[in-house]
Amino acid sequence: MADIDIRVQGQAGRITLQRPEALNALTYQMVLDIETAIDAWRADDGVRLILIDAKGDKAFCAGGDIAEMYASGKRGDFDYGRQFWRDEYRLNAKLAEYPKPMVSFLHGFTMGGGVGVGCHGSHRIVGETSRIAMPECGIGLVPDVGGTFLLSRAPGYLGTYLGVTSARMDGADAIYAGFADHFIPQEEWLAAKDALCNTGQTEVVLKAATAPTASQIQAQQPEIDALFADPDIGEIADRLAASDSELAGKALKPIHHNAPLAMACAVEIINRMRGGGTIRDALDLEYRYTHRTMAQGDFIEGIRAAIIDRDRAPTWAHATPRDVAAAEVAAMLAPLEDAALNWEDMP
């Protein structure tokens, strides 16, 4: 079975991720194949909408396939990872700006690269098993693939909370936070997909949608805002440590575990994007970090601890969030000049 199934069904261009044994993690070739398909369908009048889904029960897409990035980075070759991210980010922008309706069905885990493929379209469907997160700080990265754009648009300081704690959202949370649009019971997904293909009309999604259960993070919004309304990750960590609330205690655990430099840069990018800008602006900032992270950041160590050795005990460059200097954040997010993302080939 190929890693991805791309075809036209009725009036829909269909993209199905089918690496269920790897939680449908994106390979570099899958990124290129998706881009080729949506470029071709852009001017195809027979394709009225794009439908993206995935095989298996556990995940829509749990992220990018980063094993090769690690292997090449350990050899001192940073070009593979940089090219992967450049091409992936270009795809993310194309998905967000696509002129036709784009419907994604986000079952199970949707994380990292899965958010980049599934959460920038016009109609993002969640169900009972949906669990959406941006866990990149746990491996020494910032939330990327346009994730900081979504996080910056979440209510209040919810985006900062989600970005630095890697907290998982269920379907109701994802709709509240702006990562999804509609809840449809998963037993109705097959019929909804067939109707989308047959009619080429997104109204079938609205007819099938129901109200999800109440969002837990919506109820926690006032406390989240009080704890995370600071531009400095060290101040946020101190505020959490000083609180005796259950939410603060749970949030402090991942902040003690995640990469301090990545969290500091994530907070800075989200804060900058909260002031305005487009998804291209967010991707540009994200790429400034990812371009440098193998040589200057914690990415290699993060992958070693999480994926290679699986000891879950990374040794970060900084012991605590308080140890990250503002100058280090500025250096990681400084303009890349000639190495910056190039949007000239965008439609």
No. of helices (H) and no. of strands (E), the chain: 17, 9
Range in 2-16, 110-124, 153-167, 201-215 with the lowest mean pLDDT? 201-215
- The rounded distance, in Å, linking the Cα atoms of 129 and 183 is 11
One DSSP character per residue, 283-306 reads HHHHHHHHHHHHHHSSHHHHHIII
Q: In one letter, which amino acid is 5?
A: D
What average pLDDT does the structure give for the chain? Answer: 95
**Is 268's pLDDT higher than 80?**
yes
In a domain? residue 137: yes
229 near 157, Cβ under 8 Å?
yes
169 near 155, Cβ under 8 Å?
no
Q: How would you class 80 by CB atoms within 10 Å of its CB: exposed for 0-12, middle for 13-18, buried for 19 or more?
A: middle
**Is 69's pLDDT higher than 90?**
no
334 near 271, Cβ under 8 Å?
no
| pLDDT for residue 8 | 98
In a domain? residue 335: yes
- The rounded distance, in Å, linking the Cα atoms of 113 and 24 is 10
36 band by pLDDT with thresholds 50, 70 and 90: very high
In a domain? residue 89: yes
In a domain? residue 344: no
Q: What is the pTM of this model?
A: 0.96
In a domain? residue 325: yes
What's the average model confidence in pLDDT over 94-108?
98
Determine the 3-state secondary structure of 50 from DSSP: strand
In a domain? residue 202: yes
**Is 313's pLDDT higher than 80?**
yes
76 band by pLDDT with thresholds 50, 70 and 90: confident
What's the average model confidence in pLDDT over 159-185?
98
- Enumerate the β-bridge partners of residue 182: 125
Tens-digit pLDDT profile for residues 107-139: 999 999 999 999 999 999 999 999 999 999 999
Q: How would you class 242 by CB atoms within 10 Å of its CB: exposed for 0-12, middle for 13-18, buried for 19 or more?
A: exposed
In a domain? residue 346: no
Q: How would you class 28 by CB atoms within 10 Å of its CB: exposed for 0-12, middle for 13-18, buried for 19 or more?
A: middle
- The rounded distance, in Å, linking the Cα atoms of 315 and 101 is 44
Q: How many domains does the chain have?
A: 1
What's the average model confidence in pLDDT over 301-306?
94
- The rounded distance, in Å, linking the Cα atoms of 37 and 47 is 11
**Mode of pairing for the β-strands spanning 12-17 and 4-9:** antiparallel
The DSSP secondary-structure symbol of 26 reads B
% of the chain residues with pLDDT over 90:
90
| φ, ψ of residue 85 in degrees (nearest 5) | -65, -40
In a domain? residue 345: no
What's the average model confidence in pLDDT over 296-306?
92
Which residue do the tokens 């000639």 mark?
338
Domain of residue 276, residue span: 4-339
Range in 115-129, 221-235, 332-346 with the lowest mean pLDDT? 332-346
- The rounded distance, in Å, linking the Cα atoms of 133 and 167 is 6
The CATH number of the domain holding residue 130 is 3.90.226.10
- The rounded distance, in Å, linking the Cα atoms of 85 and 82 is 5
The DSSP secondary-structure symbol of 64 reads B
